[in-house]
Chains A and B, each alone.
Chain A
Amino acid sequence: MTDAAANSPRIDRLRAGLKKRYAREKRFRAYGLLAIAIAVGFLVLLLGRIVEQGHTAFYAHTVTVPVYMDPARIDRGYPQGTNFEQLVAEQQLARMGVQDDAAGTKATAMRGLFSSELKYLAADRVARQPGLIGQTVTIAAPASDDADLFFKGKVSRDTPADQRRLSDQQIQWLDQMKADGHVSAHFNSGLFTRGDSTEPELAGVLGAVIGSALMLLVTALIAIPLGVGAALYLEEFAPKGKLTDLIEVNINNLAAVPSIIYGLLGLALFINWMHLPRASPLVGGLVLALMALPTIIIATRSSLKAVPPSIREAALAMGASKTQTVFQHTLPLAMPGVMTGAIISMAHALGETAPLLLIGMVSFVPGLPHSLVEPTGALPSLVYIWENASERAFHERTAAAILVLLAFMIVMNAAAILLRRRFERRW
């Protein structure tokens, strides 16, 4: 560049403008970084809080005690009838040298430290091996929810006794049992292998996970083929006109309808009118399918629109029929987008709670679901139920259930990305 050119006013103007342009770019980048930082910050805060609340639900405490299978108290023919909790509590009191009063309040207090599961574990042992009667057997049973919380350090000794669920005496007993080596902590596998229960220490998410999975299956089987089919027809076959415009506007509106309205619709349509079983995965899946449909249609249409028209023209000019063009060229090219849309709407459906509450999925359902037509729980409604439960031990489990729900979603999104990659590579 010559000096004359470098000093010309034109170049100066350009320079000045350039400076401004770079400054604008820098500012924009700073905004971007700030926005991302805020978003990440919120995410970390949210996740951190849930993990902090929920991580303790992933382990639990077991109390291991020797039990003398007193022949005087156990009916050989019907061991299930025995009040093992009372038996164990009395023996434990005796071992600790505590004298019970006439009303047996101490034994009751002691019983409160063991899970009611103890009864079934002991009865089961005796039923399988009647020879154990008259002998002393070691039985490991879950600690009761309050005892478990205490061992996890969530019950403060400093709280006035009338404001906590464990008395001073019970705390003293727990300390002693721990000192005696009767208490052990372990991974809470029950959380993943059990259904819901009224006892927090026995409650698990498996029933809700299965319920959610069944529901999503119904949703996917109905919403994906219907949605993709509708989008294909609207985008590729339907004559463009006032009617298709009207339909398009309405589909966009449907995507924005609050989910609780879909719940009401589902209640009226599937339960009151078609008499499908309340709170069943079938009805849940149908309602979620109604909800997912507009999203899938919109996502599919926009990915169909993104397919270059030159490919369509090429196929048509080769003498492919409309249907051949669509199914051999347009749809395969739109597939990654269709897949992503479908799975994202499924992930949405997975977390949807309001419509489930309306079709009756708020009630307590113990055990695991076996079919599409019996009442079941679902993950989001389980979160809702547990959050509203009175037992404090449910609160950490609520957070754990949220984590399971999030993990479920992450798995689905990962599947979406994998599928997308697969379809993209196949072109």
Chain B
Amino acid sequence: MKFKLFRAPDGSQGGGSAPEAPVISTPVVTHGAGPVGPTKISARDVSVFYGDKQALYDVSLEIPDKTVTALIGPSGCGKSTFLRTMNRMNDTISHCRVTGRIEMDGEDINAKSVDPVLLRARVGMVFQKPNPFPKTIYENVAYGPRIHGLASSKGELDDIVQISLKRAGLWEEVSDRLHSPGTGLSGGQQQRLVIARAIAVEPEVILMDEPCSALDPIATAKIEELIDELRERYCIVIVTHSMAQAARVSQRTAFFHLGRLVETGPTEEIFTNPRERRTLDYITGRFG
């Protein structure tokens, strides 16, 4: 199992190599290896406030294209909050305020000239709990292309629906009941349906917030396989509580703790040789 491979720090060197005592002064430790693809999204000193309460503190993170980046960290550390800054879903929360700069392809996504509606067509999102629309399977997938006017004919729309469902690995299971309710599918199927819905608009980035937390191992494996395939075309950011999953699907990992980005780097290095004591403790299950 791949995961075992990365667990080395836990056993042999665990306590011994427990590196330099926690260096709180340097908030971010970046490993030597640079980004895997060209940078797609770059966050600079991003802070997020819910009312008076600050949930994120000066997070700076480069997210490369055609790569899966995993965000890990204990509950409440701000992973979802950070994820939601990238498609400006935080705009929909009235008491939420975002500072700092987030660039996608070098363009500030919080600029006045950027329409959040257009941004969200370019940055798709998959939520923790599958949330298909209470409409048919077909309508769910066709919704995005339809509102964005991506299909000029019924035939074209049919094609988009079919291709998206195929890419999401759901086509075989639903091709004969496209017009039955999407809410009637199993949890794992629903999650793949909302992934199909997200990729139907051909986004450039897909944000996934714990997409497998409600799924059994088989459905999880399917989604992970899917994520691995999608990586070839998209920039993917995934929040996960499963170290094993982060190790399996991601090439880069960012560890958050108490609203701060503690450490980021290639997944393999984070899991085999973290620089930060807190990272080590977290991935070896000593806290969080």
Residues of A within 8 A of B131 (CB): 308, 310-311, 313-314
User: In the complex, how many angstroms separate the beta carbon of B56 from the nearest chain A beta carbon?
Assistant: 19
User: In the complex, how many angstroms separate the beta carbon of A365 from the nearest chain B beta carbon?
Assistant: 49
A310 vs B191: C-alpha distance when bound (angstroms): 13
User: In the complex, how many angstroms separate the beta carbon of A368 from the nearest chain B beta carbon?
Assistant: 46
Count residues of chain B with CB under 8 A from any CB of chain A: 27
B117 engages A319 (CB within 8 Å): yes
Which positions 323-375 of chain A face chain B at CB distance < 8 Å? 324, 328-329, 333
Residue B262 CB within 8 A of the other chain: no
Residue B135 CB within 8 A of the other chain: yes
Residues of A within 8 A of B87 (CB): 317
A329 engages B133 (CB within 8 Å): yes
User: In the complex, how many angstroms separate the beta carbon of A349 from the nearest chain B beta carbon?
Assistant: 32
A115 vs B181: C-alpha distance when bound (angstroms): 65
A319 engages B121 (CB within 8 Å): yes
A239: contacting residue among B94, B127, B143, B144, CB under 8 A: B94
A329 vs B127: C-alpha distance when bound (angstroms): 17
Q: Which residue of chain A lies nearest to B122 when distances are taken between CB atoms in the complex?
A: A319
B94 engages A314 (CB within 8 Å): no
A320 vs B147: C-alpha distance when bound (angstroms): 7
Residue B233 CB within 8 A of the other chain: no
Given A240-B94, A427-B135, A427-B181: A317 and B127 interface contact (C-beta under 8 Å): yes
A319: contacting residue among B118, B134, B135, B181, CB under 8 A: B118
Residue A217 CB within 8 A of the other chain: no
User: In the complex, how many angstroms separate the beta carbon of B198 from the nearest chain A beta carbon?
Assistant: 8
A311: contacting residue among B117, B119, B121, B133, CB under 8 A: B133
A333 engages B134 (CB within 8 Å): yes
A313 engages B147 (CB within 8 Å): no
B187-207 near A? 1/0 per residue, CB < 8 Å: 000000010011001000000
Residue A318 CB within 8 A of the other chain: yes
Residues of B within 8 A of A313 (CB): 89, 92, 127, 131
Given A313-B89, A427-B134: A324 and B147 interface contact (C-beta under 8 Å): yes
Which positions 299-319 of chain A face chain B at CB distance < 8 Å? 308, 310-319
A45 vs B134: C-alpha distance when bound (angstroms): 45
Residue A7 CB within 8 A of the other chain: no
B92 engages A316 (CB within 8 Å): yes
Q: Which residue of chain A lies nearest to B118 when distances are taken between CB atoms in the complex?
A: A319
A314 vs B144: C-alpha distance when bound (angstroms): 11
Residues of A within 8 A of B135 (CB): 427
A313 vs B197: C-alpha distance when bound (angstroms): 14
B129: contacting residue among A310, A320, A321, A324, CB under 8 A: A310
A332 vs B197: C-alpha distance when bound (angstroms): 20
B89 engages A317 (CB within 8 Å): yes
Q: Which residue of chain B lies nearest to A315 when distances are taken between CB atoms in the complex?
A: B133
Which positions 118-153 of chain B face chain A at CB distance < 8 Å? 118-121, 124-125, 127, 129, 131-135, 143-144, 147-148
A239 vs B67: C-alpha distance when bound (angstroms): 39
A236-251 near B? 1/0 per residue, CB < 8 Å: 0001100000000000
A204 vs B201: C-alpha distance when bound (angstroms): 64
A317 vs B117: C-alpha distance when bound (angstroms): 8
A9 vs B139: C-alpha distance when bound (angstroms): 60
Residues of A within 8 A of B147 (CB): 318-320, 324, 328
B194 engages A314 (CB within 8 Å): yes
A310 vs B117: C-alpha distance when bound (angstroms): 17
Which 9 pairs of residues, A with B, have the shortest CB-CB distance?
A319-B121, A319-B120, A310-B131, A317-B125, A314-B131, A427-B134, A318-B144, A321-B117, A319-B117
Residues of A that sit less than 8 Å from B by CB:
239-240, 308, 310-321, 324, 328-329, 333, 427
Residues of B that sit less than 8 Å from A by CB:
87, 89, 92, 94, 117-121, 124-125, 127, 129, 131-135, 143-144, 147-148, 181, 194, 197-198, 201
A sample of 11 cross-chain residue pairs with beta-carbon separation below 8 angstroms, ordered by A number, consists of A239-B94, A310-B131, A314-B131, A314-B132, A315-B133, A317-B198, A318-B144, A319-B119, A319-B148, A320-B117, A320-B147
A318-B120, A318-B147, A319-B120 known; 5 new pairs, CB 8 Å cut-off, are A315-B143, A318-B197, A319-B119, A319-B148, A427-B134
